A = this chain, B = another copy of it.
Amino acid sequence: MGNTFGHLFRITTFGESHGGGVGVVIDGCPPRLEISESDIQYDLDRRRPGQSKITTPRHESDTCEIISGVFEGKTLGTPIAILVRNKDQRSQDYDEMSVKLRPSHADATYEAKYGIRNWQGGGRSSARETIGRVAAGAIAKKILKQVANVEIIGYVKRIKDLEGMVDPSTVTLENVESNIVRCPDPEMAEKMIDLIDQTRRNKDSIGGVVECVARNIPKGLGQPVFDKLEADLAKGVMSLPASKGFEIGSGFAGTLLTGSEHNDEFYLDETGEIRTTTNRSGGIQGGISNGENIIIRVAFKPTATIGKEQKTVTNTGEETTLAAKGRHDPCVLPRAVPMVEAMVALVLCDHLLRQEGQCGLF
């Protein structure tokens, strides 16, 4: 009952890491948008495991098929179903996990809630579920770009204690994609890659922070009081696997300032538009976009599945230890970048459609 996200641009994802496949149904995509599998595949490839030496070595091509909703290259206004078949299924690596619960993973809670789980890999709790989100996010990005020239750029801001210097108002996709860790600070990126690589060899994992900026945002997006733009953004990214924190604008650090220091003073730009001299608000005031850049940060914990031995229990109630066999992802951050971008795009696209027509009638 919790597999749908959005109101007017509404996605429903399905699929476990093992089984027939994973995918998404997008309901509410406006008609006559040009779209093809290749529009989607780019972000799927950025999300894909095995894309570099610092991600999980699980090799999946993650090729998507558009099942419905597109005719002669254009959207019909009907639901767009996208399917990615599962392929690389070495389930023998998971045999141990059919009884042993991985610490800080969803094994135990799924078992407690549902009384059943697909123990081959993470099942529904696998990051593989995000394929549907990323596919839908690619379409949302395209809509936002065409309608309002909105640009959404995510990047790795911090890996463990290694923090990059990035200017959110100028960073480009090319900067982000210039290295495999997706940190647009080239020097720090090198260090991050080394740290991840070393962590992988230690059979351990690390986390960090993804920052995401959305530029050229129309004023007026967001629906107070519960569907405030930052509230929906928070929900979106906090529903990603491994996320533990969310900030907008000044975030937690902003609590160290006084009001007179923190407030974004207004001025009129050369076109007479109301702007703010600073952007501690992160582009949103009172739950509604003010036209400045939207800037959020998401904390991702270190991946739960590790090769190191840990204490745990079995689902039949015995204490034991577990050292995960085979593949595991030392750091999800580089792959989390397109996931965060997708959630931001989905929220913004939904609110763009909600804004349209609602406030311009009288």
**Which stretch in A50-58, A78-86, A165-173 binds the other chain?**
A78-86
Contact in complex: B219, A230 (CB < 8 Å): no
- Once the chains bind, are B267 and A5 in contact (CB under 8 Å)? no
Partner of A81, one of B23, B228, B355: B23
Judged by a CB distance under 8 angstroms, whether A206 is at the interface is yes
| Tier of interface size on chain A | 35 or more
CB contacts under 8 Å to B, within A103-129, are: 103-110, 112-118, 123-125, 129
Q: Bound state CA distance, A160 and B253, in angstroms?
A: 9
The oligomer's copy count stands at 4
Cβ-defined contact, A118 with B160, below 8 A: no
A5 to chain B, nearest CB (A): 4
**A65–B308 CA distance with the chains assembled, in angstroms:** 39
The answer to whether A288 and B112 have CB atoms under 8 Å apart is yes
A248 within 8 A of partner (CB)? yes
> What are 18 A-B pairs with beta-carbon distances under 8 A?
A13-B225, A16-B68, A20-B68, A106-B285, A108-B266, A108-B285, A112-B274, A113-B222, A125-B286, A146-B361, A204-B258, A226-B239, A228-B239, A255-B301, A258-B302, A263-B302, A277-B311, A356-B361
Whether the Cβ atoms of A288 and B16 lie closer than 8 Å is no
Q: List, in ascending order, chain B residues with CB within 8 A of A268's CB.
A: 313, 317-319
Is A188 close to B, CB under 8 A? no
- A225 in contact with B2 (CB, 8 Å): yes
The residues of B that contact A101 with a CB separation of less than 8 Å are 266, 274
Enumerate chain B residues within 8 angstroms of A192, measured Cβ to Cβ: none
- Which A residues, 194 to 230, have Cβ-Cβ distances below 8 Å to chain B? 199, 202, 204-209, 219-220, 222-228, 230
- Which B residues lie within 8 Å of A20 (CB)? 65-68, 81
On chain B, the residues within 8 Å of A256 by CB distance are: 160-161
Assess the A77–B245 pair: CB atoms within 8 A.
no
- Docked complex: A9-24 residues within 8 A CB-CB of B: 10, 12-16, 19-23
A153-175 CB mask vs B (1 if < 8 Å, else 0) is 00000101100000000000000
Complex: chain B residue closest to A15, CB-CB: B68
> How many Å from the CB of A238 to the closest CB on chain B?
4
Contact present for A104 and B263 (CB under 8 Å): yes
A79 touching B244 in the complex, CB below 8 Å, given contacts A20-B67, A206-B259, A255-B209: no
| Cα(A112)–Cα(B202), bound, Å | 53
On whether the beta carbons of A1 and B206 are closer than 8 Å, the reply is: no
A68 to B20, CA, bound (A): 6
